[in-house]
Amino acid sequence: MRLRRLRWRAVLAILTVVSAAATVTAPAATSADRPASGERTAKVVQKPYERVDRGVGAGERFRIYDPSVGESKQWYINDHTFVQGPDGTWHMFGITHEEPANPLDETYFAHATADSLTQEQWVKQEPVMHADPDSGETHVWAPYVMEHDGTYYMFYAGGTDDHERYRMQLATSTDLYHWERHPENPLFTDGYDARDPMVLRVGDQWVMYYTANSRPDGGHHIVAYRTSDDLVHWSERGVALKHPVTGTFGGPTESPYVVQDGDDYYLSTCCTSNYTDTRVYHSNDPLHFDVSDEVGQIDEHASEIVRDGDDLYVSGAGWGQGGLYLRPLDLDKELVTEGRIIKTGGYRLDLQTAPHASIRSMDVRARGGWRRVLNDDFRATAPYLAVGNFGSTDPAGKPRRVAVRKDGRRLALRGVPLGDEPARVDWRFRFSPSTSTCPPTGMSTAARMRRCGRSPCPSTRRCRGSATTRTSTATQVTSPGSRASRSPARDARRSPPRTCATLRGAATTGSSTVRWAPSSGRRCGPRVANRWPVRPTRAAPGESARHRAAATARSASGSTVP
């Protein structure tokens, strides 16, 4: 939804490519297959797979509202809500602002109407609920509107300078055009940046779900809930979903929305791995969900689930998305996943190729079995194109072709689409059959013993658990005149073992090819995945990569890594 405290407003088209290469061998071909002391060796085995499941899925998206129509500049809709008036007219209220994104300056809600939910272009109305400094509001976020006993209730987050005490506010209306703030405001305060309310009737009480953190100053991202008998006075906080990811801004529990289908409840949240990554979880208890009960993934940001008669739709919007969209929603859809399992004696990798290109998991052989080492948070596991510095706004889709060398050591995903942008990339992998079990030479005996917890290598004893985790680097293509910035990948949530890795790769955008490699053939460190230098490309006039979000961002035709 929103990344707070943006340092600049320039729009960047960022292409990040992650190359998974588990090796400590030198780049020279003459030594690639020769095991050194303390290495495990094995063939590289690749097995394609196709998995068919049933779960929550969505159909093709179509746009119902473009806020830029009639405006001289591009605008966006972000978190939003739908409600049907007494005369059958549909109303939409949502966050809005000129592109590029400026979440702390979102000071009123857009309002649009339509005769039917799926009408192609809704009619723009006057905005509502301007931020009121006298009510402690510096900005307003994420409205949710519902009707009860002839009165319409709008719950929303009143942003303040104190991110640990965001205010949950209430306004009421009888006609959906004129709103009055409730005298009991704030209903409660919470953090970090507590926001995105939605309300569901469960039994004889109301339940409000919203996104927050396990502590007001941070901790685990959670979907919190509170209960009420009158929609004004709310209980102490409970936790409906606790996500393993920690942090403050953003997070994977944004835009929570719960829909009931008989005895089943479905919770959707955003944004797990990229800006448009909405996950759906199932439970028979509306107050308790678990990330292990994931039943679907939808390519939308800030989704709401809307029921129109017997039909269900899921919506989507956001920065750079060009408006507000709907997709038909199916709670029991056939879901097909394709990919390849890559195995050696020292590591194994699950590379998904459809419906999205991404590394789903990576494990290394460690003491007592296998250990997961993949950091799948944010930008770790797939190529992406992004607007601003939030993350992937245009995730990688299914490649046109998968090319594999006979010995399994090289693989290329060719023609990977990036959202609906006019750009495709080739994602290439080089897999080594060997994995190091010793720290690199040159380390002191004391350091080796600290690292291994036993007799140092090289010797007859091995330092167990040492293998490659994620390696990544970023190539940025900036719009002419904008300032390139460094965007290193986030630190791993786990503490991986000592790693040594060699990175190779190349990506193609349009007719341009960008190749990269580390400045030296080998890097070692406790968090090698997060220490690769980011090398911005030189922006040059060339092919235009359209971005609805803001001013033109260009892919640098023929650019190279300096």
Q: Measured between alpha carbons, how far is 67 from 323 in angstroms, rounded to an integer? A: 6
185-194, 232-241, 487-496: range with lowest mean pLDDT: 487-496
551 pLDDT more than 80: no
Q: Measured between alpha carbons, how far is 412 from 371 in angstroms, rounded to an integer? A: 26
Q: Looking at residue 373, what is its pLDDT?
A: 83
Q: Looking at residue 274, what is its pLDDT?
A: 80
Q: Looking at residue 346, what is its pLDDT?
A: 85
Asked if residue 96 lies in contact with residue 76, where contact means CB atoms within 8 angstroms, the answer is yes
Asked if residue 335 lies in contact with residue 359, where contact means CB atoms within 8 angstroms, the answer is no
Average pLDDT score over residue span 103-126: 97
More confident residue, 132 or 544: 132
Residue 235 in tokens: 């209980």
Q: Which helix (H) or strand (E) holds 76?
A: strand 75-84
251 to 213, 223, 272, 491: CA distances (angstroms) = 9, 11, 7, 15
Token look-up 């390139």 returns 484
388 pLDDT more than 60: no
368 to 127, 400, 467, 494, 525: CA distances (angstroms) = 61, 40, 15, 18, 23
More confident residue, 478 or 361: 361
Q: Which helix (H) or strand (E) holds 436?
A: strand 434-436
Q: Looking at residue 136, what is its pLDDT?
A: 86
Q: Looking at residue 444, what is its pLDDT?
A: 59
Q: Looking at residue 365, what is its pLDDT?
A: 85
390 pLDDT more than 70: no
Q: Looking at residue 398, what is its pLDDT?
A: 93
Q: Measured between alpha carbons, how far is 414 from 400 in angstroms, rounded to an integer? A: 6
φ and ψ of 90, to 5 deg: -85, 140
Please, which pLDDT band fits residue 419 given cuts at 50, 70 and 90?
A: confident
Please, which pLDDT band fits residue 33 given cuts at 50, 70 and 90?
A: very low
22 pLDDT more than 60: no
Residue 317 in tokens: 């919007």
Residue 503 in tokens: 């990175």
113 pLDDT more than 90: yes
More confident residue, 205 or 381: 205
Q: Looking at residue 14, what is its pLDDT?
A: 34
C-alpha dihedral (335, 336, 340, 345), degrees to nearest 10: 40
181 pLDDT more than 50: yes
Q: Give me the residues paired with residue 246 across strands.
A: 220
Q: Looking at residue 381, what is its pLDDT?
A: 78
Task: Please give the angle made by the CA atoms of 475, 478 and 481, to the nearest 5 degrees.
Answer: 145
Greatest pairwise CA separation for the chain in angstroms: 82
Asked if residue 129 lies in contact with residue 171, where contact means CB atoms within 8 angstroms, the answer is yes
24 pLDDT more than 90: no
Contacts of 229 (CB under 8 A, 6+ apart): 205, 206
Q: Measured between alpha carbons, how far is 309 from 71 in angstroms, rounded to an integer? A: 34
For residue 407, the tally of other CB atoms under 10 A from its CB is 12
209 to 226, 255, 260, 267, 332: CA distances (angstroms) = 7, 9, 14, 10, 24
Q: Looking at residue 423, what is its pLDDT?
A: 83
Report CA Rg, the chain.
25
Q: Looking at residue 392, what is its pLDDT?
A: 65
Q: Looking at residue 30, what is its pLDDT?
A: 33
| Cα–Cα nearest to 475, from 502, 499, 430, 505 | 505
27 pLDDT more than 70: no
Residue 255 in tokens: 């835009």
Residue 210 in tokens: 């919203």
Q: Mind listing the pLDDT tens digit for each residue in 46-61?
A: 999 999 999 999 999 9
149 pLDDT more than 60: yes
Q: Looking at residue 8, what is its pLDDT?
A: 30
430 to 231, 451, 502: CA distances (angstroms) = 57, 28, 10
Q: Looking at residue 280, what is its pLDDT?
A: 97
Q: Taking the alpha carbons of 169, 172, 177, 178 in that order, is the dihedral positive or negative?
A: negative
Average pLDDT score over residue span 515-544: 30
170-184, 293-307, 349-363, 459-473: range with lowest mean pLDDT: 459-473
Please, which pLDDT band fits residue 442 given cuts at 50, 70 and 90?
A: low
Asked if residue 475 lies in contact with residue 533, where contact means CB atoms within 8 angstroms, the answer is no
Q: Looking at residue 215, what is its pLDDT?
A: 93
Asked if residue 281 lies in contact with residue 290, where contact means CB atoms within 8 angstroms, the answer is yes
More confident residue, 436 or 97: 97
Peptide bond into 271 cis (omega under 30): yes
228 pLDDT more than 60: yes
Peptide bond into 108 cis (omega under 30): no
Q: Measured between alpha carbons, how far is 505 from 16 in angstroms, rounded to an integer? A: 11
Q: Measured between alpha carbons, how far is 519 from 522 in angstroms, rounded to an integer? A: 8
Q: Measured between alpha carbons, how far is 562 from 560 in angstroms, rounded to an integer? A: 6
Token look-up 């190529």 returns 383
Average pLDDT score over residue span 314-340: 95
If DSSP states are collapsed to H, E and C, what string results for 156-171?
EEEECCCCCCEEEEEE
Q: Mind listing the pLDDT tens digit for each residue in 74-100?
A: 999 999 999 999 999 999 999 999 999
